Amino acid sequence: MVTKFMTESAPNTKMSARDVKVFYGEKQAINGVSIDIDMDNVVAFIGPSGCGKSTFLRTLNRMNDTIASARVEGDITLDGENIYSSKMDVVQLRARVGMVFQKPNPFPKSIYDNVAYGPRIHGLAPNKAELDQIVENSLVRAGLWNEVKDRLTESGTALSGGQQQRLCIARAIAVDPEVILMDEPCSALDPIATAKIEELIHELRGRYAIVIVTHNMQQAARVSQKTAFFHLGNMVEYGDTSDIFTNPREERTRDYITGRYG
Amino acid sequence: MNHGQNEHTLKAFDGDLITLRGLIAEIGGRAEKAVEGAMMALANNDLELAHQVVEGDKRIDALEEQIDRMVIQTIALRAPMADDLRELVAALKISGVVERIGDYAKNIAKRVALIDASQHIEAARMLPAMADATRQLVDDAFTAFARRDADLAVAVCAQDKTVDDFYNSIFRALIAHMIENPEHVGAGTHLLFIAKNLERIGDHATNVSEMVYFAVTGQSMNERERGDDALAPNAD
């Protein structure tokens, strides 16, 4: 397996996983995955349903902690620091490694409060003026400011699906994360809203390390510079997106991306 | 390569690819026949056959258009990846190259009527052998495509040197003949162009093979595997 030989990390590595295994009770869902994620490249995880791509994504900010039967082995580091160490504050970790989900899930609060929520609980804004600034910056960066600046007090749930998803991205950005994990962020959106999210991912690249799980291979091809193909709990192949989609090394990758899988 | 062993989940996509491969086989076969027909017309001074070759080129042009449309449609509708994508890009480029082979064959056929058949030009006696070697290259290039055979594609590129050597020999022989027989300059020049056309057809067979190699392996054939350029230092 490719992953076995990866031991040293590239200099600009943000997150690094080594021989990560995940178990749900007796069942092993991830069989020893090693990967480096850096600031310069959007990483896409692709693979058929049940291949483990979302499970692995969730190990990167310990979202699997919320599942009682889930157990994670191996090392995952953020800036060289083991995120599964007992010294790691999980709430802090999830601020540093933010997440955006498949279905937009704004809080049933105003647009403003959705974005202000994180900075408030993390004590990032000492006064109202600074909080206003964080909310505005986050909404601008999420490409939503012009659409909502005149109705910040309206409920976040009243926005369209695409706007809600950008609101969730603004909410993730508001706590100034270092990594953003996206789990099929566009699968509930129409093509225009999808294009806006993809453009947003492109603009956020470099400022944050970004990992996106997607079922849509064209989307992986459009937004990512690196692609990892997962199959049956293994990371079969990880490489430059342009190589994966034009000349994959592994037979299983080829079968999947050309639609021959199964 | 085990291309085609396992089918696409979407069967209609396989149907598209099979149709496309059929069209490539047809255009390749027609181009090869055109080269053969043009040279036979030349050998036998058969104006009727030459006319058929010229007319037949329209079908090759139409096939090229059909292939281009089908490739663009398939890329747009099926969003192909990896070897599927490479094959479609190769098909698109190959159709353009084959259309050129057809044009060269047509050009040879058109010259048949312009050459004074009564003039015996000994220097052109190598032309049928050159034509045979050229036709074989075209045949092998399309066999390589049909079989997804990267090794045969490499062999075609190596074999192109034979055609280039023929060209250089014929070139020198015809120039020498025309210097000694100025009354043969008209026919000699036509024969020279015919040899040049054959040499270009050989180059295009090489181009087809390079695309086959790319489609099969995902890599471009390296310089070493390509045939040398036709022009020897003293050929002109």
pLDDT of residue A34: 97
Cα–Cα distance for residue pair B30/B170, rounded to 1 Å: 26
Report the residue from A258, A261, A262 with minimal CB separation from B82: A258
Mean pLDDT to the nearest integer, A100-122: 95
Any residues with CB less than 8 A from the CB of A113 and at least 6 apart, and which? A107, A156
Looking at the domain assignment, is residue B234 inside a domain? no
Token digits for B16?
A: 């598209």
Question: Do the Cβ atoms of B219 and A248 come within 8 Å?
Answer: no
Q: Is any Cβ of chain A less than 8 angstroms from the Cβ of B13? A: yes
pLDDT at B18 > cutoff 50? yes
The mean pLDDT value of chain A amounts to: 92
Q: Which domain holds residue B23?
A: 11-225
Interfacial B residues in 62-121 facing A (CB < 8 Å): 79-86
pLDDT of residue B222: 73
Report the CATH number that the domain containing residue B198 is assigned in CATH.
1.20.58.220
Question: Do the Cβ atoms of A217 and B81 come within 8 Å?
Answer: yes
Looking at the domain assignment, is residue B138 inside a domain? yes
Looking at the domain assignment, is residue B184 inside a domain? yes
Looking at the domain assignment, is residue B5 inside a domain? no
Looking at the domain assignment, is residue B233 inside a domain? no
Residues comprising chain B, all counted: 236
* Total domain count, chain B: 1
Q: pLDDT tens digits for A37-86?
A: 999 999 999 999 999 999 999 999 999 888 889 999 999 999 999 999 99
Q: How far is A245 from chain B (nearest CA, A)?
A: 5
pLDDT at B227 > cutoff 70? no
Q: Is any Cβ of chain A less than 8 angstroms from the Cβ of B6? A: yes
Looking at the domain assignment, is residue B232 inside a domain? no
Looking at the domain assignment, is residue B98 inside a domain? yes
Under the banding of pLDDT at 50, 70 and 90, the label for residue A2 is very low
Report the residue from B7, B86, B218 with minimal CB separation from A260: B7
Other CB atoms within a 10 A radius of the CB of residue B228 amount to 11
Q: pLDDT tens digits for B55-101?
A: 999 999 999 999 999 999 999 998 899 999 999 999 999 999 999 99
Find the angle CA(A131)-CA(A38)-CA(A28) to the nearest 5 degrees: 100
What predicted TM-score, i.e. pTM, was given to this entire model? 0.81
Other CB atoms within a 10 A radius of the CB of residue A55 amount to 23
CB pairs under 8 A between A and B: 39
pLDDT of residue B230: 53
State whether the Cα torsion A58-A59-A60-A62 is positive or negative.
positive
Q: pLDDT tens digits for A146-202?
A: 999 999 999 999 999 999 999 999 999 999 999 999 999 998 888 898 998 999 999
Question: Do the Cβ atoms of B82 and A246 come within 8 Å?
Answer: yes
Looking at the domain assignment, is residue B148 inside a domain? yes
Question: Do the Cβ atoms of A259 and B8 come within 8 Å?
Answer: yes
CB burial of residue B38 (10 Å; 0-12, 13-18, 19+): buried
